[in-house]
Amino acid sequence: MTTAPANSDKGKVVLSLDGVSVLGSGTVNANGSFTENVTIPAGVAPGNHKIRAMNGTATAEAAITVTAANVTSSKASMMMVGILTGEAGCPNHPIISTETGSGFRLYGTGFASGVVAVHLDTPTGLLLGTASTQADGSFCQQMNGVPNSQAGKHILLAIENNAVRAQIPVSFVSPSVIH
């Protein structure tokens, strides 16, 4: 990657993923280029991403595709559950979508003892809530809804001990307005 053809200043280049997660740094040579190996963090969502290099005001980007999330091997799982009138707890009514702006119930199992953080789309995405696991490795927790601006298809990620332990595809739909 070359930071800029006109930039022949030697110096440090900072590498980031999607302009958010710092991946490391390298040294720019007299030609304005550098070579550096980077590791994509665990739990980065599959899809198109960019590695950005910055050296002063010079910036360069390289497009990459993550083909599969780097998920730690485990038997942890989770599901969004619906609660019918008169029910309490965490009934086994799996759902895959809910309204934006409304909280939802999430059930998880197979987790280590501790706290599980639930994020939207990436390990550093919008935090929807946390859950403390029971002695059997399960949790049943009400999560915060997403704002209307986040309507659409997403992935919920369960993060425990800085690693993605489970993920599920979900959809958030805008509430219907009746006139």
Residues 6+ apart with CB under 8 A from 51: 1, 15, 16, 17, 23, 38, 61, 62, 64
Judge whether 60 and 1 are in contact, CB under 8 Å: yes
Task: Measure the CA–CA gap between 59 and 3, rounded to whole angstroms.
Answer: 5
Helix (H) or strand (E) holding 65: strand 58-66
Judge whether 62 and 48 are in contact, CB under 8 Å: no
The pLDDT tens digits for 83-125 are 888 887 777 789 999 999 999 999 999 999 899 999 999 999 9
Per-residue pLDDT averaged across 54-65, rounded? 84
pTM (predicted TM-score): 0.57
pLDDT band at 56 (very low <50, low <70, confident <90, very high): confident
The pLDDT tens digits for 119-170 are 999 999 999 999 999 988 999 999 999 999 999 999 999 999 889 999 999 9
Burial class (CB in 10 A: 0-12, 13-18, 19+), 35: exposed
Query: Which of these, 38, 43, 49, 22, lies nearest to 125 by C-alpha position?
Result: 43
Per-residue pLDDT averaged across 32-51, rounded? 80
E strands, 97-161, in order: 97-99, 104-109, 115-120, 127-132, 139-143, 152-160
